[in-house]
Structure 1
Amino acid sequence: MIRLRIQVATWPRRALILTDTPRPDCPDCDGAGGIEHDYGDYETGEYAGTDWEPCHCWNEHRRWTLLPLPARPRWLRRHRTPVDPWASNEPPF
């Protein structure tokens, strides 16, 4: 059974996509969609990284584009203002 949800994709172009989700009651991955495997260096035994193996309950490549979204005009994009390090949202008392 397919469990669908709507997401916003940003690459190669902004679009609304319909995508499959992992089965929440899957006994193998507990709804995460995959299983992480930590591995170490053969000679030293130190941690070297994590491998991710997708679960059989989910196909991460199953997605359909519903609607391409237009790019925002330059004048509509928000500019970030620098944060004052001394500012606080705590009351003065």
Structure 2
Amino acid sequence: MIRLRIQVAHWPRRVLILTDTPRPDCRDCGGEGGFEHHYGDHNGEYAGTDWDPCPCWNETHRWALLPLPRRLRRRYDGRDPWGPTGHNTGYSDEPPF
């Protein structure tokens, strides 16, 4: 049985995808989806962590559903959007101060 979740992926373009999730009642991984294995170097110091996925979950099952529109970015021209505008570049002495 597949347990689906909706996510946003940032592939070359943003897209909504369906992904498989680990089985929450799995006796092997406890719903975590895999196992961490810490390992050390030749001196016995921590050197990293390996991840082994559990057979209850296939992390490669992904289905693209819907491409999302690109976000328009505002261009920053260096001006303060709350600062003075036009030819008036100083502070006003008109009330309220």
Question: What is the TM-score with the length of structure 2 in the denominator?
Answer: 0.72
Q: Aligned AA for 1:44?
A: N
Q: What is the root-mean-square deviation of aligned Cα atoms in Å?
A: 0.9
**Matched pairs, number:** 74
**Residue aligning to 2:53:** 54
Q: Aligned AA for 2:43?
A: T
**How big is the shift at 1:32?**
1.0
Determine whether 1:64 maps to 2:66. Answer: no
Q: Aligned AA for 1:38?
A: H
Q: Whole-Å Cα distance in 2 between the matches of residues 33 and 39 of structure 1?
A: 20
**Residue aligning to 1:2:** 2
Q: Per-residue displacement from partner, 1:15-37 (whole Å, max 9, x unpaired)? A: 10011000011111111111000
Q: Which runs of 5+ in 2 are unaligned?
A: 75-97
Q: Which runs of 4+ in 1 moved over 6 A?
A: none
Higher Cα Rg, which structure: 2
**How big is the shift at 1:12?**
2.3
Q: Which runs of 5+ in 1 are unaligned?
A: 76-93
